[in-house]
C-alpha cells in the first residue's frame, strides 16, 4: 500500500510539514484539477463512433474525444482485466505490480499485493479525496481491497464480472453475491448495477465538488453478461445478436458517461476535471460473450491476445480549456503512462520512482511532439511481445480473433512492421531476421525477458533412444498421450500445450524404452518444463533401471536433484542420470510433486509434470 521505497517516517514528516507550514496550500486545493479515470471492460479496439464504428451510437464519448485528445496507438499492458488494471493503477508492468494474470475468485486467492503504491495512494498523498466505483478484480481480502489500496470510498464488485441485476458473480456456481460498499456487503436486489454505479459516481463528484478528487470509475461493461437497458436494446433491435446486444451495451456505457459529464458541467467543475477514458483489454471472444459481439477492426487479436486487437484500444484524455481539443494523436503510449502523466498534469512532485510509465504530459499539451515512449513489453502466460518504434515482435502469438492460422513451427516468433501493416497478418520474421534479432535483444533487455521465453529453432538431437519404441506404459493423461515425442529428437517449446510435451497430473510417469539391441549407456537426460502459473513443476524424482531381457530390471539409478520449487515462471531445464550400463531395456520412472507446497501457485493441489525429450547417450 505504501510506496515502498520511501520510509514512512519521511512521509509522515512531509504530511506534518504540509499541515504546519503550508496551510495556505489547502485554501488553494480547489484549484487542483480533479481526475476521473473511466476504465471500460472488454471494449473492442474500434467499438466507438469516434474510432470508426458506423453501427454504434456513442455521442457522449465521441464528444469527449472532440473536447480533448483521442489516441490511435494507446496500449494496455496486458490483454486481460486484472493485470491491465494493476498496471493502470501502479504505473508499472503487471509483473512489477505483482499481478501476472487474472486474479481468481476462489476465497483466499491472491490479489494485487498491498505494498503496491497506487494512483489512489498517490492522489491521497497529495491531499485528494479518492473514490473507486465499479469493478475491482484485484483482490477480495481486506488487504487487497480498494479501501486498502488508497481509496477513501469504494462501491462495486470485487470479482471479475456480475449479473447486473442480482449482483451475483457471473461464473460457474454455486454463485456468489458480489456487491460491496467500503468492504461491507450490500444488497440492492434487482437494481441495475450500471445505474447503481452511475448514481454513486454522480453523488461522488457532487459530494466532492469543493475538494480535489480522484475517481476511478471502472465501468463493468461491455463485459459479459450482455445486459444493456431496454432503451438501447430497442435502439439496436434490428442488429443481429450478439453484435446488437454488445452495441446496446456500449450505448448504455455512453449514456452514463453523458450523465457524469453533464453533472460535472452542472456543478461547474468540468474545466477543472481531467477525464481519461480507456478500455482494459480487447473485446471478448469467450463462449459467455457468445464468442464475440465486439470488433478489433483492422487489427488481429482480441482479449487474451498480444496482437494489436487485444491491447491497442480506445483512449481519450480531456481537460477542457486546459489541454488541446479535437486532437487525434498517433503517438505510442501504454496505460502505465497515465500515472506519471496525470501526476505531471496535476503538478505533483514526489512521484514514485520505481515505475515503468513515461510522462506524456508534454506531448499531450503540445500535439505533434513525439512520445517519450519508444518501446514497450508484454508478457502474458506463454505469449510475450516487444514493440520498438514501428516494429513489433510476438513470441508464441495467439489469435483469439481467429482471423488467420498460426503455425507454431514457423510463427512462434511473429514480426510485424506496424507502420506498414497494422493487421499483423503477415509474419515478416523470415524476411527481416536482423530485426528479429534486434527485438529479441530488446526484449531480453527487459527485466522480465528470459532466455527460456525465446522459441528455439527445432534442432534434431541424435541419441541412442531416438525413434525407438516405448512400451509397458503406465496410464498416461488423456490429453498428453503422444508418447513418441519423448524420443523424436526434438525439445519442446516452453508451452505445455504445444503438442511436444507429455504431461501427467498427480500420478507417476513410467514406461520402458526398448533400444532394440543391448547398448552401452553413459547418461540419460530428461527435459522438463517448470511453469508454476499453470501448476507445472519440476519432477520430484527421475529414475532409470536397466534390463537385457525386458523382464528383470536392476541397477535403479536416480538423477540429480531438481532445482527446488520456486515461483520463477516458465523455464525449461533437464535432469541427468550418469551411469555405466550395458542394456537393451530402460525402465523410466518420473514422479511429480503430488501436492504443491505452501506459497506456490496452486498450493495444496496436485502438481503437473511436463517432460519432453529423453536423451540417451
Residue numbers at the binding site for its own copies (CB under 8 A) = 163-166, 168, 170, 172-175, 187, 189-192, 224-225, 227, 229-230, 233, 242, 287-291, 475, 477-478, 481
Nearer residue to its own copies within complex by CB, 49 or 160: 160
- Angle, CA of 479, 485 and 487, to the nearest 5°: 145
Nearer residue to its own copies within complex by CB, 167 or 300: 167
CB of 290 to its own copies, least distance (A): 5
CB of 289 to its own copies, least distance (A): 7
- The rounded distance, in Å, linking the Cα atoms of 529 and 507 is 16
Nearer residue to its own copies within complex by CB, 410 or 481: 481
State phi, psi for 203 to the nearest 5 degrees: -65, -40
State phi, psi for 372 to the nearest 5 degrees: -70, -10
477: left (phi over 0), alpha (psi -120 to 50) or beta: beta
Nearer residue to its own copies within complex by CB, 207 or 286: 286
> How many helices (DSSP H) and strands (DSSP E) are in the chain?
14, 21
CB of 185 to its own copies, least distance (A): 11
Nearer residue to its own copies within complex by CB, 475 or 595: 475
Residue 407, judged by CB atoms within 10 A of its CB (0-12, 13-18, 19+), counts as: exposed
CB of 513 to its own copies, least distance (A): 17
CB of 190 to its own copies, least distance (A): 4
CB of 583 to its own copies, least distance (A): 22
CB of 229 to its own copies, least distance (A): 7
CB of 171 to its own copies, least distance (A): 9
Quote the strand ranges of 273-326, DSSP E. Answer: 273-279, 315-318
CB of 291 to its own copies, least distance (A): 8
Q: Are 130 and 213 in contact (CB under 8 A)?
A: yes
CB of 192 to its own copies, least distance (A): 6
- The rounded distance, in Å, linking the Cα atoms of 49 and 487 is 55
- The rounded distance, in Å, linking the Cα atoms of 262 and 251 is 16
Q: Are 217 and 133 in contact (CB under 8 A)?
A: yes
Helix (H, G, I), strand (E, B) or coil at 286: coil
Nearer residue to its own copies within complex by CB, 362 or 475: 475
- Angle, CA of 228, 234 and 237, to the nearest 5°: 100
Nearer residue to its own copies within complex by CB, 292 or 372: 292
Nearer residue to its own copies within complex by CB, 100 or 166: 166
- The rounded distance, in Å, linking the Cα atoms of 399 and 408 is 12
CB of 167 to its own copies, least distance (A): 8
Q: 137-172 burial, b for 16+ CB within 10 Å, e for fewer?
A: bbbbeeebbbbbbbbbbbbbbbbbbbebebbbbbee
CB of 428 to its own copies, least distance (A): 37
Nearer residue to its own copies within complex by CB, 175 or 522: 175
Taking Cα atoms as reference points, which of 40, 354, 347 lies closest to residue 220? 40
Sheet with strand 273-279: strands edge to edge:
184-185, 180-181, 153-157, 129-135, 213-218, 34-40, 273-279, 315-318, 69-75, 327-334
Nearer residue to its own copies within complex by CB, 163 or 442: 163
Nearer residue to its own copies within complex by CB, 164 or 383: 164
How many of the other CB atoms lie within 10 Å of CB of 9?
Answer: 8
Nearer residue to its own copies within complex by CB, 285 or 494: 285
- The rounded distance, in Å, linking the Cα atoms of 176 and 168 is 5
Q: Are 133 and 77 in contact (CB under 8 A)?
A: no
Q: In sequence order, which residues have a C-beta less than 8 Å from that of residue 27 and are 6 or more positions away?
A: none
Amino acid at each position: 500500500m505504501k510506496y515502498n521505497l520511501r520510509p514512512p517516517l519521511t512521509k509522515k514528516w512531509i504530511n506534518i510539514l504540509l499541515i504546519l507550514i503550508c496551510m495556505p496550500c489547502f485554501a488553494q486545493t480547489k484549484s487542483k484539477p480533479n481526475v476521473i479515470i473511466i476504465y471500460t471492460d472488454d471494449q473492442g479496439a474500434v467499438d466507438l463512433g469516434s474510432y470508426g464504428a458506423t453501427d454504434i451510437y456513442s455521442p457522449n464519448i465521441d464528444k469527449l474525444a472532440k473536447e480533448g485528445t483521442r489516441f490511435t496507438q494507446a496500449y494496455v499492458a496486458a490483454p486481460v482485466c486484472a493485470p491491465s488494471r494493476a498496471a493502470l493503477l501502479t504505473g508499472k508492468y503487471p509483473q512489477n505490480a505483482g499481478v501476472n494474470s487474472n486474479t481468481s475468485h476462489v476465497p483466499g486467492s491472491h490479489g494485487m499485493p498491498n505494498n503496491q503504491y497506487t494512483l489512489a495512494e498517490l492522489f491521497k498523498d497529495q491531499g485528494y479525496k479518492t473514490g473507486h466505483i465499479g469493478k475491482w478484480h484485484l483482490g477480495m481480502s481486506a488487504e487487497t481491497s480498494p479501501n486498502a489500496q488508497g481509496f477513501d470510498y469504494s462501491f462495486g464488485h470485487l470479482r471479475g464480472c456480475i449479473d447486473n441485476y442480482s449482483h451475483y458473480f457471473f461464473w460457474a456456481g454455486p454463485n456468489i453475491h458480489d456487491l460491496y460498499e467500503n468492504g461491507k456487503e450490500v444488497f440492492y436486489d434487482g437494481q441495475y448495477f450500471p445505474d447503481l454505479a452511475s448514481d454513486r459516481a454522480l453523488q461522488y463528484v457532487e459530494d466532492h465538488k469543493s475538494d480535489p478528487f480522484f475517481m476511478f470509475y471502472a465501468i463493468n461493461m461491455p463485459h459479459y453478461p450482455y445486459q444493456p437497458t431496454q432503451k438501447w436494446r430497442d435502439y439496436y433491435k434490428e442488429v443481429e445478436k450478439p453484435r446488437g446486444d454488445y452495441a446496446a451495451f456500449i450505448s448504455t456505457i455512453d449514456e452514463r458517461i453523458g450523465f457524469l459529464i453533464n453533472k460535472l458541467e452542472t456543478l461547474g467543475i468540468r474545466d477543472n476535471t481531467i477525464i481519461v477514458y480507456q478500455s482494459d483489454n480487447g473485446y471478448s471472444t469467450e463462449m459467455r460473450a457468445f464468442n464475440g459481439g465486439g470488433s478489433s477492426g483492422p487489427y488481429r487479436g482480441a482479449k487474451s491476445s498480444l496482437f494489436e486487437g487485444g491491447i491497442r484500444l480506445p483512449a481519450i484524455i480531456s481537460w477542457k480549456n486546459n489541454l488541446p481539443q479535437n486532437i487525434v494523436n498517433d503517438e505510442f503510449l501504454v496505460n502505465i503512462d497515465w500515472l506519471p502523466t496525470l501526476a505531471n498534469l496535476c503538478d505533483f512532485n514526489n512521484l514514485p520512482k520505481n515505475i515503468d510509465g513515461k510522462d506524456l504530459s508534454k506531448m499531450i499539451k503540445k500535439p505533434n511532439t513525439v512520445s517519450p515512449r519508444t518501446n514497450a513489453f508484454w508478457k502474458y502466460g506463454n505469449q510475450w511481445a516487444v514493440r520498438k518504434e514501428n516494429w513489433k515482435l510476438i513470441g508464441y502469438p495467439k489469435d483469439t480473433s481467429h482471423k488467420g492460422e498460426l503455425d507454431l513451427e514457423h510463427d512462434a516468433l511473429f514480426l510485424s512492421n506496424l507502420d506498414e501493416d497494422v493487421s499483423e497478418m503477415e509474419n515478416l520474421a523470415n524476411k527481416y531476421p536482423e530485426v528479429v534479432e534486434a527485438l529479441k535483444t530488446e526484449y531480453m533487455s527487459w527485466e522480465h525477458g528470459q532466455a527460456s521465453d525465446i522459441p528455439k529453432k527445432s534442432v534434431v538431437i541424435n541419441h541412442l533412444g531416438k525413434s525407438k519404441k516405448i512400451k509397458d506404459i503406465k496410464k498416461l493423461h488423456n490429453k498428453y498421450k503422444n508418447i513418441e515425442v519423448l524420443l523424436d529428437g526434438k525439445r519442446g517449446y516452453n508451452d505445455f500445450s504445444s503438442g511436444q510435451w507429455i504431461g501427467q497430473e498427480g500420478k507417476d510417469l513410467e514406461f520402458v524404452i526398448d533400444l532394440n539391441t543391448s547398448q552401452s549407456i553413459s547418461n540419460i537426460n530428461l527435459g522438463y518444463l517448470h511453469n508454476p502459473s499453470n501448476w507445472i513443476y519440476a519432477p520430484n524424482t527421475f529414475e532409470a533401471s536397466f534390463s537385457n531381457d525386458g523382464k528383470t530390471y536392476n541397477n535403479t539409478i536416480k538423477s540429480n536433484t531438481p532445482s527446488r520449487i520456486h515461483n520463477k515462471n516458465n523455464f525449461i531445464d533437464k535432469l541427468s542420470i550418469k551411469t555405466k550400463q550395458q542394456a537393451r531395456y530402460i525402465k523410466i520412472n518420473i514422479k511429480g510433486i503430488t501436492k504443491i507446497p505452501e506459497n506456490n501457485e496452486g498450493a495444496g493441489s496436485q502438481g503437473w509434470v511436463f517432460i519432453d525429450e529423453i536423451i540417451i547417450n
